[in-house]
Amino acid sequence: AMATIRRGQVPVTKSIQNKGIRSVLSDVSNRNLIVKNSFHDAKFVKPVGKPLKADKISNGKTEKSVKLALKTHSKSEDPTAQKITGVTKNIKKPSESTICGKNDGSSQSNKLTLAFSSLALSVVDIDAHDDGRYLMVSEYVKDIYTYLKFQEAEYAVKKGYLTGRKVTARMRGILIDWLASVHSRFDLATETLYLCVNLLDRYLQQDCLVSKSELQLVGMAALLIASKFEDIYPPTVEDLVHCSNNTYSNQNLISMEKKIFTKLKFKINAPLGVHFLRRYAKIMGMGHLCYNLAKYLLELCFINYRVVHVPFSCLAAAAASLAIHYTDPERKFVDIWDSTIQEYSGYSFREILTHIESIVTFVVSMESNPLQNLRKKFAAPEYLEVSCLPCLHGEIPAEPLLD
């Protein structure tokens, strides 16, 4: 008699009945998947020309034709053997063993492959001595700074973005000068002021309806957000309100903080100029005096509205080279900006020349500038009193920068 099948029950075939009950995927295991050839023993051949059909590969004639094609391909001209114009002549191609190391399973096989263009330009590997220092992330540091430079375009502001606004460039400079004094009063991190200025400019660019009475509130909210990102102990809302002489309430500051987050779509953590300056200082071998002077020159760019659109990686390059020239006047700019710093920064000397001249002009004008808080900040002993150096006071250097 035929067995009755209940509703919802799947009929069982005879083949499954004979095998009996088994667990799901009981036949599939790692023991059944035996790999005959290991990955290291496999030989990979780059295909030449059009791919051959599967039914023709087994033919002996086809195998001979493939080997013959590989031989002719290996005898073709090496692309690295081409002449490099404008660099040097008779450059020997580095052997494969010296670059990649032998495949003996030792640590030598993990060496990084150097770019042939870097070898041709005699670029020094400044991260070579940091291999054992894990906090320096020498394996990734070049990619990190390449990515930071790429990200600058997303967090940039346009040239003359305050044109036709109620807020003028002079008001912006006064606000940043006041924010620098508040930053010094609370002894906040260096990155905090850089991020604060970036948030301020980006918000003012997005919101064209900011009035004069709201400008200080925007700056306070930008400083609060930046401090929360960079400092361990950021100032409280009450502290910042007190610094403004109670011009605004606590709720006003919290509401403006929300507006900035919403307007900037929560894109806060921008690449900062001090990040690039630290990298350039390592490449160029700057001392403490020279580095603090470069920081002073770079932070003066905050209140210089003419360079507000310039990427901070470029301004940091200009400030670093100018600081070296100020501390060592006998060194010319062309010698300072050598092939190594050009390779790591991505800027030629002619690209930063205009910004060097802008910084020099602004530094000389600081004698009569009413915004003096940044100058007072770097006159402190902790910054080696770099703003009081005699080389910063006087006329613009008459030396041609390209000599």
Last residue of a domain, one of 72, 101, 122: 122
For residue 220, the model assigns a pLDDT of 97
Residue 399 lies in a domain: no
For residue 111, the model assigns a pLDDT of 43
Examine the domain organization and report whether 92 and 202 are in the same domain. no
For residue 322, the model assigns a pLDDT of 94
Residue 355 lies in a domain: yes
Examine the domain organization and report whether 285 and 333 are in the same domain. yes
Kindly report the CATH number assigned to the domain that includes residue 257.
1.10.472.10
Last residue of a domain, one of 205, 239, 263: 263
Last residue of a domain, one of 263, 284, 303: 263
Examine the domain organization and report whether 256 and 278 are in the same domain. no
SS (H, E, C) the chain: CCCCCCCCCCCCCHHHHHHCCCCCCCCCCCCCCCCCCCCCCCCCCCCCCCCCCHHHHCCHHHHHHHHHHHHHHHCCCCHHHCCCCCCCCCCCCCCHHHHHCCCCCCHHHHCCCCCHHHHHCCCCCCCHHHCCCHHHCCCCHHHHHHHHHHHHHHHCCCCCCCCCCCCCHHHHHHHHHHHHHHHHHCCCCHHHHHHHHHHHHHHHHHCCCCCHHHHHHHHHHHHHHHHHHHCCCCCCHHHHHHHCCCCCCHHHHHHHHHHHHHHCCCCCCCCCHHHHHHHHHHHHCCCHHHHHHHHHHHHHCCCCHHHCCCCHHHHHHHHHHHHHHHHCCCCCHHHHCCHHHHHHHCCCHHHHHHHHHHHHHHHHHCCCCCCCHHHHHCCCHHHCCHHHCHHHCCCCCCCCCCC
For residue 260, the model assigns a pLDDT of 97
Residue 168 lies in a domain: yes
Gap between the Cα atoms of 284 and 321, Å rounded: 9
Residue 29 lies in a domain: no
Examine the domain organization and report whether 333 and 366 are in the same domain. yes
Residue 51 lies in a domain: no
Examine the domain organization and report whether 297 and 355 are in the same domain. yes
Examine the domain organization and report whether 248 and 278 are in the same domain. no
Examine the domain organization and report whether 333 and 311 are in the same domain. yes
For residue 27, the model assigns a pLDDT of 54
Residue 39 lies in a domain: no
Residue numbers of the domain that contains 102: 84-122
What's the number of domains the chain is made of? 3
How would you write the pLDDT of the chain (403 residues) with one tens digit per residue?
Answer: 445 555 545 555 454 455 555 555 555 555 554 444 444 444 544 545 544 444 444 444 444 444 444 444 444 444 433 433 433 334 444 444 443 444 444 444 444 444 444 444 578 888 888 887 888 888 888 899 999 999 999 999 999 999 989 999 999 999 999 999 999 999 999 999 999 999 999 999 999 899 999 999 999 999 999 999 999 999 999 999 999 999 999 999 999 999 999 999 999 999 999 999 999 999 999 999 999 999 999 999 999 999 999 999 999 999 999 999 999 888 888 889 888 899 999 999 999 999 999 999 999 999 889 999 999 999 999 999 999 998 887 655 545 454 4
Examine the domain organization and report whether 308 and 367 are in the same domain. yes
Examine the domain organization and report whether 280 and 387 are in the same domain. yes
Residue 291 lies in a domain: yes
Examine the domain organization and report whether 169 and 254 are in the same domain. yes
**Could you give the count of Cα atoms lying within 13 Å of 403 in the half-sphere of its Cβ?**
6
Examine the domain organization and report whether 193 and 251 are in the same domain. yes
Residue 143 lies in a domain: no
Examine the domain organization and report whether 93 and 161 are in the same domain. no
